[in-house]
Amino acid sequence: MGILNVTPDSFSDGGLFLDRDAALRHAEMMMEAGADVIDIGGESTRPGADRVSEAEELDRVLPVIEAIRKRLPIAISVDTSTAAVMAAAFEFNVEIINDVRALSRPGALAACGQSEALLVLMHMQGTPSTMQDAPYYADLFGDLNQFFEKRIEACGLAGIASDRLILDPGFGFGKEAHHNFSLVAGLHRFAHHGLPMMVGLSRKRSIAGIARDVIAASVAGHLLAIQAGASIVRVHDVEPMVSAINVLRAVRECEG
């Protein structure tokens, strides 16, 4: 999954792709590099980020969704928590809604219940503006598993089949570095839900804090996550990630 932030303030690429044509060119570049999905986001969720208005988010993402749908043969994901944005995106038959708030905002469950898109439920402790203010867990895996159970149940009550759901432990969203690396090591501890896992370590602060080459380090972290059971990796740097996955696949094919 290639990241396409159409925001002025995202932590790594804010402001680079606000222009629709620039966004389209970047999406095409990621597709040619091997991305299977383009994830379009119009609301920054970096630590300390403020919420944007519904109208502003729609103005940012809809022209890009439309342009990609018309011109590129690739699946589209929309990174949003806003019901109106979800509903508008479904008019373009987007394949995935990627929600850092796990469909908890008003109207999100109802909006997604009217579609057939896959839905990413991410865990976040707190909100983007507060999530890195000394996050604490008495039981990291217990807390996240309980959260996932509740959100899966809420989706079921809203008529959303579990086979549409993907789980994301939310690296960097209300977690310190040791929480993030523990989640990579213990990703298998979410397997009992029977759902695909998505991981997004790309260029995160925990990675940058221990590596001079943040791209190589991000690729390494994602490879470890794949080996631990991740089905989707959400990345800024598609080409090196695809190259690394190709090596992993070649090795696995020789394991017999």
* Catalytic positions, written as ranges: 204, 234
Cβ atoms of residues 181 and 206 within 8 Å: yes
Burial class (CB in 10 A: 0-12, 13-18, 19+), 180: buried
**Helix or strand holding residue 97 (H, E):** strand 96-99
As a whole number of angstroms, the distance between CA 10 and CA 48 comes to: 11
The per-residue DSSP string of 26-83 comes to: HHHHHHHHT-SEEEEESS--STTPPPPPHHHHHHHHHHHHHHHHHH--SEEEEE---H
Burial class (CB in 10 A: 0-12, 13-18, 19+), 208: middle
The helix/strand/coil state of 233 is strand
Q: How many CA atoms lie within 13 A of 48 on its CB side?
A: 3
Tokens of residue 2, six digits: 């290639």
The CA–CA distances, whole Å, from 41 to 77, 100, 201, 225 equal 9, 11, 16, 23
As a whole number of angstroms, the distance between CA 209 and CA 226 comes to: 22
